[in-house]
Chains A and B, each alone.
Chain A
């Protein structure tokens, strides 16, 4: 009987034998000629993010930074739900009054499952695909927290929104060890290609987009001013 180490060596030997003859190196050089950076202006980028999220049936609300607490409270009230889970490091100002909060300092699956919804921060938004990225920091919560409750309210700041997927990779100073990319609520098309929302993950995705970046002058206006000066 061979030992695991021998199997490992056997496979690696086969691979090294198979790759001993070098093929054209030019085919293996990755050309980054694809679009890495988007060309949209900030407002268009945010509009695209909202449009894509809504295509996925996500509810999107926009607000100013100073209105965030009341906006969260309003979203929770109008959801008709009562018990909400929150990651351990969710900013205290987001814990709106009038509902029951379950702070995740080690909730059991059963306790999370019993929540009507969950409120979290997020790492990034990708406008091209309407994707919300979670890196599961203490304000984004561990993975199970955004999985079992049926309703997810995610707070995203406009400064976190990029246009293209490669721009998100540029924002990762370190590759994450955990990440979840959410592009709309759970869905299936396994029965006759009919899209059905909500199989196992949350059926309702809600996003509050916080305008934390003052809308800068559009580049065309800036150029025009430059030309006039």
Chain B
């Protein structure tokens, strides 16, 4: 285990290395890259096929974005409405300003229930607030019941995708983890056999553990109902069998009316897994006598979402319904997978959400982890203009850096200042062109390309070639061309 510990993935943005530093070793991990490429190719193809059959897809996207914009503009009202309906139906609603507060609330509930163990439905929000380590520290064992999350938990690994958190792991690796942790030496690497092993392993947990923790897909303000969409049935188990259910919800995960789900469910399933509908969706309202948990708690988590809400360009980040489509389509994510982002939220949405959740005090490299190609915007079911937010956040990072005196000696900033001076004067520009042409000539290959540069230039040429400068500029050619007789 020591070698694994040495490669421990750090998904805490406060301590994770900057994106390029984290990405570099991953780019050399061909196994991981091929696992990620395969998984994202499969989901993308399924999504594309099912989106193409919806002639009203753009109308649905517009409606979904409008529903979430209405939610965000009137968030306080909808949350209070949800709270009163949920409470009237027998639920308990708690408000947590940050992750530590949410942890404390959840621990208090579990302690009252004398819980030694708790079963969990995949929830990225619980990973955001580092809930599992907090539970373990308090002596409560959390059992992940989503197959992918179980693979990660038993393999001492971290999620790399919002929807399919273990997509960087292949069947051989799953076999190794299950064989070791479930003491099943003869286990084959057939996905059917691996899934059956997980079913058996978890079945007795479902029937014996008295408390469950879930996230949420949508809360309905009008009725106080909560909805979870899933595929495996582990969600239904956790939502039905235990005595106590704790649902952790980001404050933005709300829709005004029950009827709004007719839009959200259509766009979510297609975008997330390329299905017309996911196999199981559950909706419940508070407590129903004789059916399901009789002790139901919702923990509404702010954790800096309200500060994102205050900013006009960035507010759209909170429309996100966590479908992961932006990750599958992103040319950067598809090369690095999710771990390089140093956050439970990787890919394009992570690149804008994570630094904002960190109040721009950490993860400042993430807004740069993008080519701004806008593929993410095109697939986003709630039309988050991710490139627009990325550029806004980059501007904020530059503003921060401008105030740091160390940046006076940073090569990039020196280069920018020099460029500023060169572009400001025609004479200096002509001089720079001549100088650069002479300086680059020794490095220019016969094919007209520069394949390798020394020093700082190597940072460019280590991953792509640079076109050599032509022997003549346009102005030089214009001045020297034969004059036509009038």
Contact = CB atoms under 8 A, between A and B. Distances in A.
Contact of A193 (B38, B146, B262, B276): B38
A192 B285 CA distance: 35
A192 B39 contact: yes
Contact of A200 (B72, B174, B232, B263): B232
A179 B74 CA distance: 27
Given A19-B73, A199-B234, A14 B276 contact: no
A190 B310 contact: no
A169 B66 contact: no
Contact of B63 (A12, A31, A113): A31
B264 to A, nearest CB: 10
B280 A7 contact: no
Contacts of B164: 189-190, 193
B97 A11 contact: yes
B232 A187 contact: yes
Contacts of B231: 186-189, 199
B121 to A, nearest CB: 11
A188 B147 contact: yes
Given A18-B307, A191-B147, A165 B266 contact: yes
B277 A175 contact: no
Nearest to A23: B73
Of A31, A110, A177, A200, most buried by chain B (CB within 10 Å of CB) is A200
A143 interface: yes
Interface string A76-99: 000000000000000000000000
Interface stretch (A61-69, A129-137, A210-218, A219-227): A129-137
B95 interface: yes
B56 interface: yes
A107 B94 CA distance: 33
A198 to B, nearest CB: 8
A229 interface: no
A191 B194 contact: yes
Contacts of A12: 76, 79-80
B382 to A, nearest CB: 12
Q: Which DSSP category, helix, strand, loop or mixed, fits chain B's interface?
A: helix
Contact of A15 (B170, B239, B306, B312): B306
Interface residues of B, number: 98
A33 B148 contact: no
A186 B280 contact: yes
Contacts of A129: 269, 276-277
A49 to B, nearest CB: 12
Interface string B11-41: 0000000000000000000000001001100
Contacts of B220: 175
A222 B206 CA distance: 55
Contact of A33 (B39, B62, B222, B266): B62
A178 B273 contact: no
Nearest to A164: B262
B174 A169 contact: no
Contact of B279 (A7, A143, A172, A185): A185
A143 B194 contact: no
B420 interface: no
Interface in B283-302: 283-286, 288, 290-292, 300, 302
A7 B233 contact: no
Contacts of A28: 66, 69-70, 73
B310 A200 contact: no
A34 B95 contact: no
Contacts of A199: 147, 195, 198-199, 231-234
A117 to B, nearest CB: 16
Nearest to A165: B262
B96 interface: yes
B195 A181 contact: no
Contacts of A179: 281-283
A34 B60 contact: yes
A131 B74 CA distance: 32
Given A33-B59, A166-B262, A186 B66 contact: no
A142 B280 contact: no
A58 B312 CA distance: 48
Given A27-B69, A30-B63, A113-B207, A11 B234 contact: no
B75 interface: yes
Contact of B146 (A176, A182, A190, A201): A190
B73 A182 contact: no
Interface string A20-34: 011101011111111
Of A21, A165, A177, A199, most buried by chain B (CB within 10 Å of CB) is A199
A198 B288 CA distance: 27
A52 interface: yes
Nearest to A176: B283
Contacts of A193: 38-39, 42-43, 164, 167
A36 B263 CA distance: 10
B237 interface: yes
B199 A200 contact: yes
18 contacts: A10-B97, A30-B63, A30-B263, A106-B290, A126-B277, A130-B276, A143-B292, A165-B277, A180-B281, A183-B278, A187-B232, A191-B147, A193-B164, A196-B191, A199-B195, A199-B198, A200-B237, A201-B232
Interface of B: 35, 38-39, 42-43, 55-56, 59-60, 62-63, 65-67, 69-70, 72-76, 79-80, 89, 94-97, 101, 145-148, 151, 164, 166-167, 170-171, 174, 191-192, 194-195, 198-199, 202-203, 206-207, 220, 222-223, 225, 231-234, 236-237, 239-241, 251, 258-263, 265-266, 269, 273, 275-286, 288, 290-292, 300, 302, 306-307, 309-310, 312, 315
Interface of A: 4, 7-8, 10-12, 14-19, 21-23, 25, 27-36, 52, 56, 106, 109-110, 113, 126, 128-131, 136, 142-144, 147, 165-166, 168-169, 172, 175-194, 196, 198-202
